[in-house]
Structure 1
């Protein structure tokens, strides 16, 4: 009995070791597949390009939580670019959007408003935070409330919104194409113009932390500590 018991014990121990080794190998493979090179600043800045669409709850959450917190903390180090397009298609003079007609109209409004606010990053960020917060003025209400709060000329804005198919649409469609092809998610998040699905996933979950550690690695600022 003792011999059999010892053999079973030895076999059991070997099996546990084999399983443990297998788990380690699997973890190593997972880490290798998901490894993302550390984000770094470029000339002291980090560029964040966000592909949005007005009716998307994931976009709402990212803009109102991750991006807002990151901008509040580190705005002097950030260059923010919005691409209000998402999964939109523009064919034969007509838009087709992921969340219907309201999505199309609001995205067009966002493109026009952001263009009119170009050169004023704070104003652009405040405007988009307004649009992606309850009651979601453009998407739900079809209103210019956020544009009016941004101080935009509503006559010129309305003219822009009505004249679809111009350079704003062409630029947004082109800017959204590659990120959507690689990331295939809205919002698409591209840092420093490097399109990477794993980096996008990190930014979507913990953008403020990601930015902080990149700044911490740059000696030319006053960032001294970060939280994961």
Structure 2
């Protein structure tokens, strides 16, 4: 019986692994209250559910409603230069630490910081890097390098859908997520089920379609 159970467990695990994870595009901006709320109340708790990292791949894009001028090499952020400053810190952290297990704790920490402490204060981002186990020195070096920081602003602008209408703009496997649903777990589990996947533990508490 133990042998049969082990085989069934292996097959179930293989079935889960054979399904591509759900792509979750998260377009935000650092000083947007609605973005902060989504990140702290829904994104981070959902990503923290056991097994969720196996079925959900997050692409986190801190650019939002900013406007970029490629000729003049300027970026104008919705909430001013301080937001560009903060966006750049997040862009650098994600570029250096692309694994969502690394960058999500950092951006989750940044989202939880009161706005006045994110305004051009390196210390707030240093504290979040330390709490996430990231090397703040290399993140700051990136942030303070005008060429690298500019390249990241460009790449993040390109990752932000041109037709987005607001922030946070969340796309789950190609479908716009309804922010009013307040249930990112269900959206991910529904999308995973639609692909033929079994979400396992990650979806046991979700009301899948």
Query: Post-superposition shift, 1:210?
Result: 1.6
Alignment pair present for 1:209 and 2:189: no
Classify the secondary structure of the residue corresponding to 1:90: strand
Alignment pair present for 1:127 and 2:106: yes
- Contact 1:137/1:145, CA 8 A, preserved across alignment: no
Q: What is the match of residue 157 of structure 2?
A: 173
Question: Looking at CA atoms only, which structure, 1 or 2, has the larger radius of gyration?
Answer: 1
Structure 2: 5+ residue stretches without partners: 1-17
- Contact 1:70/1:208, CA 8 A, preserved across alignment: yes
Structure 1 segment 56-205 matched on structure 2, within 5 A: 56-73=32-49, 74-91=52-69, 92-118=72-98, 120-135=99-114, 139-140=118-119, 142-143=121-122, 144-166=126-148, 167-176=151-160, 179=161, 181-192=162-173, 194=174, 196=175, 199-201=176-178, 205=182
Query: Post-superposition shift, 1:141?
Result: 6.2
- Contact 2:172/2:191, CA 8 A, preserved across alignment: no
Query: Post-superposition shift, 1:138?
Result: 6.4
* Whole-Å separation in 1 of the counterparts to 2:116 and 2:92: 15
- Contact 1:44/1:220, CA 8 A, preserved across alignment: no
- Contact 1:49/1:190, CA 8 A, preserved across alignment: yes
Classify the secondary structure of the residue corresponding to 1:103: helix
* Whole-Å separation in 1 of the counterparts to 2:190 and 2:141: 44
Superposition RMSD in Å = 2.7
* Whole-Å separation in 1 of the counterparts to 2:55 and 2:116: 29
- Residues 52 and 220 of structure 1: CA distance in aligned 2, closer, same or farther (over 3 Å): same
Structure 1: 5+ residue stretches without partners: 1-41
- Residues 202 and 85 of structure 1: CA distance in aligned 2, closer, same or farther (over 3 Å): closer
Query: Post-superposition shift, 1:221?
Result: 4.1
Greater relative contact order (CA < 8 Å, ≥ 6 in sequence): 2
* Whole-Å separation in 1 of the counterparts to 2:154 and 2:169: 18
Q: Give the TM-score, by structure 1 length.
A: 0.68
- Contact 1:131/1:137, CA 8 A, preserved across alignment: no
* Whole-Å separation in 1 of the counterparts to 2:112 and 2:179: 23
- Contact 1:111/1:168, CA 8 A, preserved across alignment: yes
